Structure 1
Amino acid sequence: MNILFITDNFPPEVNAPATRTYEHCREWVDEGHEVTVITCAPNFPQGEVYEGYQNKWHQKEEVDGIEVIRVWSYITSNEGFIKRTLDYFSFAVTSFWSGLSQKPDIIIATSPQFFTTWSGWALSKFKRKPWVFEVRDLWPESIKTVGALKEGFIYDSLESIELFLYRSADKVIPVTDAFKKNLSDRGISPGKQLVIPNGSNLELFDVEASDGRGIREELGLKNKFVVGYVGTHGMAHNLDFILECAGQIEDLDIHFLFIGDGSEKESLLKIAEEEQLKNVTFVDPIPKEKVPDYLDAVDVSLVPLKKSDTFKTVIPSKIFEAASMELPILLGVEGQAQEIVEEYEAGICFEPENKDDLLEKLGLLKRDKELYKRISRNGAKLAKAYDRKILARKMLDALEELV
């Protein structure tokens, strides 16, 4: 089977869409299938092309047996609705033109971003091949939630297109049960949907093979109780609230470590400087293969989002990475993510944007050694239950049925 996958995020980018796509495609190659990924020059989240790459009209490389075609797009930093829309739309156009020369048996397009699926739909019509809409985000609802778009004509138009694409797809693959319910409630047949959640890469995130001692010493955190956040510093993640909490912690042993970049990074650095926060350290983005060592260097994995009904439907991939490393999760997300963490007792949940609750739960993790050990052990159970290899095989079965 020849699989064409369209995504605007792919390694060496290290965000969740890039990681999920790469790991699934690699498994499919191992199963003997031909996989081609059309993507753009790596630039997320800074909006700057990575060293060794160029923003050219067409370039090819091979990544672990996956043929990767990179096309030109309008590149901008992850901020500003109009600029980001131009970024997303330009990739939809150039990925479509590149896809015309391919001979796929099936086409997959993933969101976010939403415009990628336009390309998948158009190619399926030209090629007369089935296409799959992988729903990683409820767009445009999610951008309304973070305040980047208000209700009105533009929002209503985008939502109409969203529903049209769901209906036109041969298969819809939401990443959470809550996404499936949302789509079903809006008229998308449950029978054409298959939930494939994010999962754990048990090969990369190996607690026995990771060593963060040198990192702790390098960052001056040797005797600290470190709360780590690894990922995008974006509008949805509410990290300014976390800094506000950090400023009220009297326990000098507790230290926050933020690793990554994003549209809010400069603002967060400014807040930390103005408030003279001594218990906060920022680190630039790191390669994916180094993330396990950095997680091994922290005591708690922090996973926050803004308080919103929309975010009750998401399951951040960070919880699977932390669980694989047997690292207790401090989760500030309600809904399905909370249900998973509590089902396996792999972390403690606090109410999003509730300062007192966060500080209480963090203090409990630091004080209660038996609780800490039990949660750490339970992480391994959660990780095994969401093994990425098994989930990739499940998705492949669905693709084979369509073809």
Structure 2
Amino acid sequence: MVRPAPPSPRAVIMLTPNFRPETNAAAKRLSAMADHFARAGWRVSVITHMPHYPQHVIHDGFDRTSPDVRDEAGITVVRIRPWIVRKDALALRLLSESLFALQALAHVLRRPPSLVLASSPFMFLGPVGLLAARCTGSRFVWDVRDLTWLYPKAAGRRTFGVDRLLEALMRFTGRSADVLVTATHGLLAYFAERPQRAATIPNGVSDEVLQALEPVSRSPILTGGRPHVVYTGLFGYNHGLLTLIEAAKLLGDVDFTLVGDGPERDALRAAADGAMNVTIAPYQRFDDLCETYRGADVLVSHVRRNPIFLWTQPAKLWEYMASGRPVVHAGEGEVIDVLEGHAIARTVPPDDARALARALGDLLADPEEARALGARGRTFVETHRRRETLMADLISLVAASAPEAR
């Protein structure tokens, strides 16, 4: 039997399905982690998919022989060809995620690091990362951004008891990790039994993005033309965007633009059919998104009502606020405490189109308050959601768990 090589000091392997050049919340968070580990002197490897978000087509220039291994600014990036399946094909998605997790496991076993870090939303990366760490004598860090194993039941799908097995596996993984990191306090509380080193490191906004959006934050809003409300991000089940379409229909003198992509796109197009003030726009890269923010008077977010979403804090909110635009959020749970406690957004209950339309209309009718709200939001992000500060906290937490790798 061939024994694995001993772990390399100050070496971390990160397991994540999303990494730059993708621009979703997971890719931004994990790309920032990789950069900060590298700056702290760690040898960093990332095992990820070939980029294909959000169109579910491998990006131009990345469709290469798998695995594709490259050095990118001092970080070794191993890209594996994804098995792309329909978002609504649950069984195939689980198989696709499992295949990636097993491929990642093989890479870790070939060259063990001192630290294995696995991140959701792929649920099986957590247990597989724990297995890899225990097989190689490495420390294990689980970065939990979502409780995806609870989603099928929450969506009303029959799970035949598999949900209970998955939940038991994930709770075991959480309490067995050397370090447990979550994006919200509610996610941390979910793991009632957890390791000694456990902390909430929320999503944030990089200094680069803050700087890019600074001119946008100084540009005027509500200057006399038709008001413009914008949503950007995933068109997914969690977001319940049909409520936003209904709110738009109640505000016929306000233009609405929904920018993004996802499994609910066709349903949104059908619901918006005949609504002359609603535009469904494709996914945009950040430079184009800056101009979209500049043209918006209010930015809107919505998370549907469900107990499993009580602990969510949509990452888009912090980028919204970095633009200096006022924000209206429909939702419930801990994010409402943050938004209302700091007076940085208007909030309404989820799934209530009339309440959402009323909040948007009231804010659009009060330019002075809208500008003040936008300014407070940007100040909050600059003070409490700077990604550089948050990642430094994470590196310190992780380093404390692996003193031999300092």
Same fold at TM > 0.5: yes
Give the C-alpha shift of residue 40 in structure 1.
0.8
Give the AA of the match of 1:166.
Answer: G
Deviations 1:346-399 (A, max 9, x none): 110011011221111001110112211210110122102111101100000011
Deviations 1:133-156 (A, max 9, x none): 111012312332233x44541111
Residues in 2 aligned to 1:182 and 1:88: alpha-carbon distance in whole angstroms: 23
Give the AA of the match of 1:173.
Answer: V
SS state at 2:234 partner: coil
* Pick aligned residue for 1:234 from 230, 233, 236: 236
Unaligned runs of 5+ in 1: none
Judged with a 3 Å threshold, the aligned counterparts in structure 2 of structure 1 residues 380 and 231 are, in CA distance, closer, same or farther, namely same
SS state at 1:313 partner: coil
Match of 1:344 in 2: 342
Q: Is the 8 A contact 2:217 2:324 kept in 1?
A: no
Give the AA of the match of 1:200.
Answer: V
Deviations 1:46-65 (A, max 9, x none): 32212222264310233343
Match of 2:293 in 1: 295
Where do 1:2-401 residues align within 5 Å? Answer: 2-54=11-63, 56-147=65-156, 149-150=157-158, 152-184=160-192, 187-188=193-194, 191-206=196-211, 207-210=213-216, 223-250=225-252, 252=253, 254-273=254-273, 276-384=274-382, 385-401=384-400
Give the C-alpha shift of residue 289 in structure 1.
4.4
Give the C-alpha shift of residue 124 in structure 1.
0.4
Residues in 2 aligned to 1:74 and 1:379: alpha-carbon distance in whole angstroms: 39
CA RMSD between the two structures: 2.1
Give the AA of the match of 2:33.
Answer: H
Q: Is the 8 A contact 1:350 1:357 kept in 2?
A: yes
SS state at 1:75 partner: coil
Judged with a 3 Å threshold, the aligned counterparts in structure 2 of structure 1 residues 72 and 318 are, in CA distance, closer, same or farther, namely same
Judged with a 3 Å threshold, the aligned counterparts in structure 2 of structure 1 residues 289 and 100 are, in CA distance, closer, same or farther, namely farther
Residues in 1 aligned to 2:142 and 2:27: alpha-carbon distance in whole angstroms: 16
Give the C-alpha shift of residue 100 in structure 1.
2.0
Residues in 1 aligned to 2:281 and 2:160: alpha-carbon distance in whole angstroms: 39
Judged with a 3 Å threshold, the aligned counterparts in structure 2 of structure 1 residues 361 and 338 are, in CA distance, closer, same or farther, namely same
- TM value normalised by structure 1: 0.91
SS state at 2:28 partner: helix
Judged with a 3 Å threshold, the aligned counterparts in structure 2 of structure 1 residues 351 and 139 are, in CA distance, closer, same or farther, namely same
SS state at 1:286 partner: coil
SS state at 1:69 partner: strand
Deviations 1:15-45 (A, max 9, x none): 1111111122212222332211100111223
SS state at 2:310 partner: helix
Give the AA of the match of 1:96.
Answer: L
SS state at 1:194 partner: strand
Give the C-alpha shift of residue 91 in structure 1.
0.6
SS state at 1:258 partner: strand
Match of 2:3 in 1: none
Judged with a 3 Å threshold, the aligned counterparts in structure 2 of structure 1 residues 212 and 12 are, in CA distance, closer, same or farther, namely farther
- TM value normalised by structure 2: 0.90
Residues in 2 aligned to 1:86 and 1:212: alpha-carbon distance in whole angstroms: 47
